[in-house]
Structures are given as structure tokens and as C-alpha cells.
Amino acid sequence: MNDLMNTWKRAPKWAAWMAYAAVGVLILTIVQSYTDTERLTSATTSGAMLRWAVPIMLAGLGGLYSERAGVVNIGLEGMLGLGMWFGAWGTINYGPWWGLLIGIAGGGLGGLVHAIATVTFGVDHIISGVAIIIAAPGITRFLSLEIFAEYEGGSITQSPGVDGVGKFTFPILSGGDVGGWKSPDVLGWFVDKGWWFVSDLASVARGLTSNLSQMTILAYLLIPLTGWLLWRTRFGLRLRIAGENPQAGESQGIDIIRYKYIGVLMSGALAGFGGAFISSPELNGIYLEGSTLNRGFIGLAALIIGNWRPAGVMAGALLFAYPTALGKRDLEGTSTHALLLVVVIALAFVVLWALSRRKHSDAILAGVLALAAGFWFVSADSVPKWWTDIQPQVIVILVLVFFAQRLRMPMADGQPYRKGET
């Protein structure tokens, strides 16, 4: 047993993440076998999850850069809104790729305001973030009144429809084209076989590799890029020092203020990317006032449960997006009802984990919650829509209750910094 555990610890991180994903699909397959639904592992559900996770993930990545530099940025929700408006405006006037860049610049403008307030003038990080959240809707409403209301199909609360970028399907895996040649669809072949678990795993993978927006691919490429940039480069080391021990960094000649500015500006730019994605045909297809839907706050939650790591942020975003993606197509509520059984199984694992570490109070709490979820599952045939809407928040609460002691934020995150002070 010890040899097996040591082998698992030495395994590459990507292999561990793939193993976790396979276990998750296995649990969904087991639940699907005992419930009247096939949506839990369908390609449409996993593809929708991938899209819905993008703005949450980008907001979380934005928070990662900012907090690794020692600046808390709860203004991500407002920066998403700015990215939505400027992304839609840029797309309407200059095309989708220019719209993306302009949306990034719009979010970056919000990040610049936050950096000036917190880094230069020492304003409390939370107060500055709240101010941006309050100001951003007013700014975009004014801009819509002056600009979108004059466009055909636009108004004070929305823009005309916007164009999207191209789609991409992975050749061989999901039947994409290679120079005009239609490649085989290996995953589709496995799906058609109807093999238990294997076909479900292939179906989930097919949704993640077919008909993807180029913006979606670009967003997910930022995960390994961020990991390399923050943990494999001199720039990343200095940025992290700004959030861990800025006084020690200053004593080594590092311009801490500069790196804090860079971190917050990158934070706003990534949130702007997420906002431009919301306005794109992948989600809304227009700028629509109020359609950030708290994704900035959920992105911060993904950052926390992801333990301030890019892969963790992505996993948290996908976890939050899954019930939303499932619920959008589950008009009867039966598939979301089946998720209650998934919750029971997950909490059972938490009970075993807590008992193995002699955390009896956690085990009792998880057991009670598992019984409650199990009772709800057997006593009802569907769940109300509000349950789908609040599931991301419920997931956050459960993770923080049971695993908060395993999380570690940057040591100087949120602390005021003045050059020359010790």
C-alpha cells in the first residue's frame, strides 16, 4: 500500500488530474445507471460546461495574478462588465478579434484604477474593489445610452448582435478536418459502441474536443502559460515575492510597486477577456446589462478552492460550470435531481477521508449532509430551478468547511505596502 501511495505521489500532475477526472466520470456513470437520465455524461453537457467555465476561469486567473502580487481584487465583477461592453463595441465596429483586444483593454482600465487606488494611494483593497463594482454598471449604462442606443437593434441596456470567431474540432479525436480531409472520429466510434463507462468517458472527451470556439481554446491555453510564467520564470518569482514578502524583495532590489501594478493590470485584462467572451456568440451573442451573473465573485471562489494555483482555478471553474451547463438543458429537472446522488457519493468519500484523519466532527457533519441529500433524492422526482442556481455557492461552502485548512493564500495578500517600510 505504501509503495502504491509513493508511486501516486511521484506521478506527474497532469496524470493525477486526468485520474481525478476519470474517477469523476465513473461516479457520473454509476449514478446514470441508476437514474432516468443520459445527460450527466453527454457531449453536449461537457461542451457547455467548457464554455460556461471560461469567464469564471478567466476571472479566477485574474485574481490569481493580482493576489500573487499581494493585492486583493474583488472588483473583478465590475471589470467583467467593462470587458463585456468594450468587447461588444469593438466587435461591432472592428470585428471579433479586435473586439477581444478592446474588451481586454476595457477590463485592464478597471485594473489600472484599482492599482492606482490600492498600490499608489494605499486605499483599502476591499473598498476600492467595491467602488469599481458600483461604478462599472453606471459607466456602461452611460456608454450604452450614448452609443448603443443609437445603433439599430441596440438600446440603453444591450448592444446589437455581435459576430463570433471560428470553430475548431480536434482531428482524429473528434473528426476534425486536416487540409480539407475529414479525419476519423475515434471518440465518436467509442461513443457509438455503448460500452459502460468507456463510452461515457469518450462522450465527455468528445464534448471537450469538438466544435470549440478559438476564443475558448485561447482561454484554456492560458492555464499552462500561467503555470510556466509564475513558477518557471524570473518575472513570476518576483511577482510572487511581491505577494509573499515584499520587504525581503525590496531588500534584494526588486521594484515591488512595479510588480504589484503588473499583477493588478493583468488581473483586469483577464477579467476583460472573460467579459468579452460573455458578449460573444459562445454565451450571450450581445452585450446585455447585468449578465455577468456574479461570475467575478464565483471566479474568486474558484481561486480560493483552487489554492491559488492555475490548474486549481480551472478545476474549480469547471466544477462550478457543470451544474449550470446541465441545468440549462434539463427543463424537467431530472438530471439535476440525479446530481443529488452524486453529492451523496462525494460526501461519503469526505466521511472516509475525515475518519482517516481522525476528524470526527467533520465526518459527522458530512454524514448528516449525505443523509439529507439522500432523503431529498428518494423523496422527490425533480429539483426546483433555484437549486441549480445556487449549487456553485453550495460547493464553495462545502469545500471551505471541510478543506480550508489545506489552503494557503500568499502571506502578504491584502496587506498594505509602503516602499522603504519594514
CATH number, residue 60: 1.10.3470
Question: How far apart are the two ends of the chain, measured CA to CA in Å?
Answer: 49
- Pair (193, 72) in one structural domain: no
Please check the confidence at residue 205 and state whether its pLDDT lies above 90.
yes
- Pair (155, 206) in one structural domain: no
Q: Render the burial of 106-125: b for 16+ CB within 10 Å, e for the rest.
A: bbbbbbebbbebbbeeebeb
Contact assessment for residue 211 and residue 50, using Cβ atoms and an 8 Å cutoff: no
Separation between Cα atoms, residue 77 and residue 87, nearest integer Å: 15
CA geometry: angle at 393 spanning 389 and 396, to 5°? 150
- Pair (46, 64) in one structural domain: yes
**pLDDT the model gives residue 145:** 94
Separation between Cα atoms, residue 295 and residue 52, nearest integer Å: 10
Structural domain includes residue 78: yes
Structural domain includes residue 105: yes
Its pTM stands at 0.93
Separation between Cα atoms, residue 278 and residue 54, nearest integer Å: 9
Structural domain includes residue 16: no
Please check the confidence at residue 299 and state whether its pLDDT lies above 90.
yes
Q: Which three cell numbers stand for residue 258?
A: 512595479
- Pair (102, 188) in one structural domain: no
**pLDDT the model gives residue 1:** 46
How much is the average pLDDT of 184-209? Answer: 92
Structural domain includes residue 353: no
- Which residue among 292, 322, 352 closes a domain? 322
Structural domain includes residue 13: no
- Pair (151, 283) in one structural domain: yes
- Pair (318, 299) in one structural domain: yes
Torsion of CA 118, 416, 129, 266, to 10 degrees: 70
Q: Look at residues 362, 407, 319 and name the one whose alpha carbon lies nearest to residue 46.
A: 319
Query: What's the sign of the alpha-carbon dihedral 332, 337, 338, 339?
Result: positive
- Pair (201, 222) in one structural domain: no
- Pair (258, 288) in one structural domain: yes
Candidate from 110-114, 223-227, 309-313, 331-335 with smallest mean pLDDT: 331-335
Instruction: Report the amino acid identity of residue 334.
Output: T
- Which residue among 155, 186, 210 closes a domain? 210
pLDDT band at 280 (very low <50, low <70, confident <90, very high): very high
Q: Look at residues 283, 226, 322 and name the one whose alpha carbon lies nearest to residue 27.
A: 322
243-275 confidence digits (pLDDT tens):
999 999 998 999 999 999 999 999 999 999 999
Please check the confidence at residue 358 and state whether its pLDDT lies above 50.
yes
Q: Look at residues 140, 152, 145 and name the one whose alpha carbon lies nearest to residue 291.
A: 140
pLDDT band at 400 (very low <50, low <70, confident <90, very high): confident
**pLDDT the model gives residue 391:** 78
Structural domain includes residue 415: no
Q: Look at residues 72, 407, 168, 140 and name the one whose alpha carbon lies nearest to residue 290.
A: 140
For residue 30, report the phi and psi dihedrals to the nearest 5 degrees. -60, -45
Structural domain includes residue 29: no
- Pair (125, 218) in one structural domain: yes
Separation between Cα atoms, residue 338 and residue 405, nearest integer Å: 30
Cα Rg of the chain, angstroms:
22
Separation between Cα atoms, residue 166 and residue 162, nearest integer Å: 13
Separation between Cα atoms, residue 55 and residue 36, nearest integer Å: 31
65-103 confidence digits (pLDDT tens):
999 999 999 999 999 999 999 999 999 999 999 999 999
Chain centroid, CA 100 distance in Å: 18
Q: How many distinct structural domains can be found in the chain?
A: 2
Position of cell 516602499?
Answer: 419
- Which residue among 322, 351, 371 closes a domain? 322
Which residue has better confidence, 337 or 280? 280
Instruction: Give the β-pairing of 181-182 and 177-178.
Output: antiparallel
Helices (H), 196-279: 198-209, 214-232, 234-244, 246-251, 256-279
Q: What is the DSSP string of 121-175?
A: S---HHHHHHHHHHHHHHHHHHHHHHTGGGSTT--SSBPPP-----EE--TTTS-
Domain that holds residue 148: 34-166+211-322
**Whole-Å CA distances, 333 to 22, 34, 43, 315, 324:** 25, 16, 19, 25, 12
- Pair (61, 150) in one structural domain: yes
Residue 378, Cβ density class (10 Å: 0-12 exposed, 13-18 middle, ≥19 buried): exposed
Across the chain, mean pLDDT equals: 89
**pLDDT the model gives residue 238:** 96
Please check the confidence at residue 23 and state whether its pLDDT lies above 80.
yes
**pLDDT the model gives residue 266:** 97
Structural domain includes residue 108: yes
- Pair (141, 242) in one structural domain: yes
130-139 confidence digits (pLDDT tens):
999 999 999 9
- Pair (61, 92) in one structural domain: yes
Separation between Cα atoms, residue 273 and residue 62, nearest integer Å: 10
Query: What's the sign of the alpha-carbon dihedral 116, 121, 125, 127?
Result: negative
